[in-house]
Amino acid sequence: MTWDVGSVKQDPAAGELIRWRGRWDARHAIGAADIHSHSAWRFAPAIQRMQRTAVLAENHRDPLTADPRRRYTSENYQVRSDVLISMKTSSDNSLIDLRNREKINHRIPLIVAHRGGVVSPTSPENTLAAIRFASEGSYDMVEIDIAEAMDCEPVLFHSWNGNLRSSCGLDSFVYDMTSEELVKIKYRESDECITSLSQALKLCRELDLGVMLDIKEFGGQHHSEEFFSRIAKLVIKNGLVNSSLTFSQNPFGYKHLRNVLKFAISEDELVLFSNGQRNIVEGRWWFALPNEVTDQLLIDLQENGTLVIVAINQFRYPVHAHEIIASKDVQRLIDTGVDGLQIDSIYEGFVDSFLNRK
């Protein structure tokens, strides 16, 4: 099936009339390639952005295509992968340089894939598959959750307590197993295994994805100095020094990573900044919640060399209204001029949709 850029095609399965500008894609009656699926958006300057417009014949509109909850059913996702994957459309597909404000300004808002990429039935969170789909969707970065294995090796895993039962069906803890054991463990109902940081960073570099490292401490666990040393070596080895951020406030983390990653400013440092210590945030970044971002604070931080990246995460919203509130937050934050959004993949269509209206 071939879809030409800028052409109008009729999908015989869906009966939808679609016009694409600046990208190519395919739609299917069950919504496999709906407006929210793996959008091909990479952000250049606003006047240079290549936007897409979908014109749906009103009599044939499929209500499923407007519902992001239907995006990643296994049936939809399989059709999507069998049809084709979107192209990147920006003039700048290179690895982001987080130390170069001019280059960042040409690509804002930076889009960071929460929980290790695009999460779906075929790509569990923090897996190599999720990272690959993030690249195909043209995210600038992925946020990955890092845990310490028993042998001090960093691996990717997300859990409130480090237990593998829910994700992998194994009643054991990450920190009680070696990395060699962990990378052989598959996620439930998936062929994807737990991933080492070494594997993840190598793939991110190959795909030109920056990384946001969320270093987890489970159940009072205290990370070893060797753990942070290995993280630093892996970031350097894979050429991601200028393309990495971290949330860590750990003293060992600061010792080994301060010249390797951009560190987030803490709540205490934000207070000091607000009280006049402007230089404390230079070269740093602020991870904020939507309701924390005001126009003036954003301007002040950016003028003092701080990147502002805001969380658009499903777990932070009420279940009954998460899509409505997330959509409003995305619109306001992009309009305000934040540097980036760390989003769950179910919300990527809101970003795409709003930028197409600007």
Per-residue pLDDT of 327-355, as tens digits, reads: 999 999 999 999 999 999 999 899 988 87
Overall average pLDDT of the 250-268 stretch:
94
With beta carbons less than 8 A apart as the criterion, state whether 351 and 343 touch: yes
181/225 same-domain check = yes
State yes or no: pLDDT of 16 exceeds 80: no
State yes or no: pLDDT of 17 exceeds 60: no
146/73 same-domain check = no
Tokens 């991870």 sit on residue: 287
79/134 same-domain check = no
Domain end position, chosen among 92, 113, 145 = 92
State yes or no: pLDDT of 19 exceeds 90: no
Band of pLDDT at residue 217, cut at 50, 70 and 90: confident
Q: How many helices (H) and strands (E) does the chain have?
A: 12, 12
pLDDT at 92: 61
Domain end position, chosen among 73, 92, 111 = 92
26/157 same-domain check = no
Between CA 157 and CA 124 the distance in angstroms is 10
172/279 same-domain check = yes
63-93 tens-digit pLDDT: 333 333 333 333 433 333 332 233 233 446 7
Between CA 47 and CA 265 the distance in angstroms is 32
Q: What is the pTM of this model?
A: 0.76
333/187 same-domain check = yes
Band of pLDDT at residue 37, cut at 50, 70 and 90: very low
Between CA 40 and CA 38 the distance in angstroms is 6
State yes or no: pLDDT of 109 exceeds 50: yes
105/164 same-domain check = yes
pLDDT at 180: 98
> For residue 257, how many C-alpha atoms fall within 13 Å in the half-sphere facing its CB?
31
Which has more confidence, 185 or 1?
185
Domain that holds residue 331: 93-357
Residue 138 backbone phi and psi in degrees, to 5: 70, 35
Between CA 264 and CA 275 the distance in angstroms is 18
Q: How many CB atoms lie within 10 A of CB 288?
A: 21
258/330 same-domain check = yes
215/278 same-domain check = yes
N- to C-terminal Cα distance for the chain?
31
Q: How many CB atoms lie within 10 A of CB 161?
A: 12
CATH of the domain at 259: 3.20.20.190
74/98 same-domain check = no
Q: Packing angle between helix 128-136 and helix 197-206, nearest 10 degrees?
A: 20
